[in-house]
Amino acid sequence: MLQCLCVGYGRMVFYIFLDVYRKLERHKHVDYSKVSFMVKTMLKDGVYCVGVVDWNMRDFHGYVTSRGTSYNAYIVKDEKTVLVDTVKAPFVGELVGNISEIINLEELDYIIVNHVEMDHSSALPIVAKIAKNAKILSTQRGKEELVKHYGHAFDSVETIKSGDTLRLGKKTLKFLEAPMLHWPDSMMTYIEEDKILLPNDAFGQHFASSYRFDDEVDNHILMEEAAKYYANILMLFAPLITKKINEVITMGIPIDIIGPSHGIIWRKNPMQIIQAYLDWSSGAAVHDKVVIVFDTMWESTDKMARAIAAGICSQNVETKILKLRASNNTEAVTEILESKAVLAGSPTLNNGVFPTMGSFMTYITGLKPKDKLWGFFGSYGWGGGAVRGLMEMAKKASFEVYEPTLEIKWVPDETDLKKCFEFGQQFAQKLKSN
């Protein structure tokens, strides 16, 4: 038996290495200069977006990306030419093809790594081999992460810090470190003469489009995706975001265009997304709204949620009901972003929280939304446990918890549903008094 397992494991390792070898061989023989599926986009004279659109992306480590995404990289061409960021490895051919429309990659002078996360850097090892004369620049933490991700070939990366500049000719790049927005290595690159900010993951959206700029797409959809992106990726870092934006404002940096590394580029009104980030991170966008997030086994918790929502609405408070198996964590968190309160409901399964609700609580407690009132309800059969489990997770995350909770045994009757209605009324009154 052990011998069979060892043989099977050895065979698995062999095929993994064979797959890697074949991919490397394909890269070796492809003429990347002839591979381009997106026309280069000019932001200003000498500044181009050369990234790629990922139409099929539907999941970003648990964040549902229903509209796909893009991986934006930028060329700044002057006496010296710079590539700012790369793309996800499967799209390296398209990236190199797009760059080749502007410059021979072997003539590239610099590659700036704003952020090492693989959706922005996994094409870098191949790009660096082709652009063998280019110097690679990153923060000190970025260099450490590049070495850990891609090996000691990146020991020669040159490090930069906030305030450092790089003169290209007529254009000047200025660098601003932004640690934990959203990795320790994160950095922004600013093109001084063109007033263009390239902030990597900040101000982005997971939004695939044949258009590149904010004045070319539906603003409602754009802001919906921007809010979803902030809520599901950056909410945890709200205090740092407020601080960093205020730092940029204090520095008096004029901004005509923001070129994020995902989604649409802001050229019509970059202040719209800057103000939105300030509002989201400070809580200014929050209003009297309760999001009811629940799941159900035999509809008892569903009936409770509807009765509770009716009670909340009777107090002229906006309500949104989300059943998790008909929705997802991504949508729930996005709704919570601008809400003052959340009610979480779960049936008891095996003396504990229903799996989808457990997943939701793990997801939301990691994002740590600030200044929300949390309440809990649920149904059970011969024994409870779900509501207690939800409360324990919330308290451990230091959420503000409303008490009492509400639990109904088996199927709620008219008396039980009246209790649910009154529970909703009381919760809304508490919310309005906060």
The fold of 29-282 is Metallo-beta-lactamase; Chain A (3.60.15)
- For 68-117, the pLDDT digits (tens) are 999 999 999 999 999 999 999 999 999 999 999 999 999 999 999 999 99
| Nearest Cα residue to 112 out of 261, 274, 273, 265 | 261
Q: What is the C-alpha separation between 277 and 96, in angstroms, rounded?
A: 33
Strand partners, 341: 290, 373
Note whether 205 and 237 are within 8 A (CB): no
- For 185-218, the pLDDT digits (tens) are 999 999 999 999 999 999 999 999 999 999 999 9
Q: Which residues contact 303 (CB under 8 A, 6 or more apart)?
A: 411, 412, 417, 420
| Amino acid 232: pLDDT | 97
What is the pTM assigned to this prediction? 0.90
| Amino acid 36: pLDDT | 43
CATH of 288-433, one of 3.40.718.10, 3.40.50.300, 3.20.20.140, 3.40.50.360: 3.40.50.360
Quote the mean pLDDT of the chain: 92
- For 307-351, the pLDDT digits (tens) are 999 999 999 999 999 999 999 999 999 999 999 999 999 999 999
| Amino acid 30: pLDDT | 54
Where in the chain is CATH 3.40.50.360?
A: 288-433
- For 342-384, the pLDDT digits (tens) are 999 999 999 999 999 999 999 999 999 999 999 999 999 988 9
Q: Which residues contact 251 (CB under 8 A, 6 or more apart)?
A: none
Residues belonging to the active site: 61, 115, 117, 119, 182, 201, 229, 262
| Amino acid 24: pLDDT | 44
Q: What is the C-alpha separation between 257 and 215, in angstroms, rounded?
A: 12
Give the strand order in the sheet containing 187-191: 165-167, 172-177, 187-191, 196-200, 257-260
11, pLDDT greater than 50: no
Q: Over the chain, what HEC string results?
A: CHHHHHHHHHHHHHHHHHHHHHHHHHHHHCCHHHCCCCCCEEEECCEEECCEEECCCCEECCEECCCCEEECCEEEECCCEEEECCCCHHHHHHHHHHHHCCCCHHHCCEEECCCCCHHHHCCHHHHHHHCCCCEEEECHHHHHHHHHHHCHHHCCCEECCCCCEEECCCCEEEEEECCCCCCCCCEEEEECCCCEEEEECCCCCCCCCCCCEHHHCCHHHHHHHHHHHHHHHHHHHHHHHHHHHHHHHHCCCCCCEEEECCCCEECCCHHHHHHHHHHHHHCCCCEEEEEEEECCCCCHHHHHHHHHHHHHHCCCCEEEEEEHHHCCHHHHHHHHHCEEEEEEECCEECCEECHHHHHHHHHHHHHCCCCCEEEEEEEECCCCCHHHHHHHHHHHCCCEECCCCEEEECCCCHHHHHHHHHHHHHHHHHHHHC
| Amino acid 250: pLDDT | 84
| Amino acid 35: pLDDT | 46
17, pLDDT greater than 50: no
Of the pLDDT bands very low, low, confident and very high (cuts 50, 70, 90), residue 299 is very high
- For 20-72, the pLDDT digits (tens) are 434 444 545 455 444 444 457 999 999 999 999 999 999 998 999 999 999 99
Where in the chain is CATH 3.60.15.10?
A: 29-282
Please state the rounded mean pLDDT for residues 230-248. Answer: 92
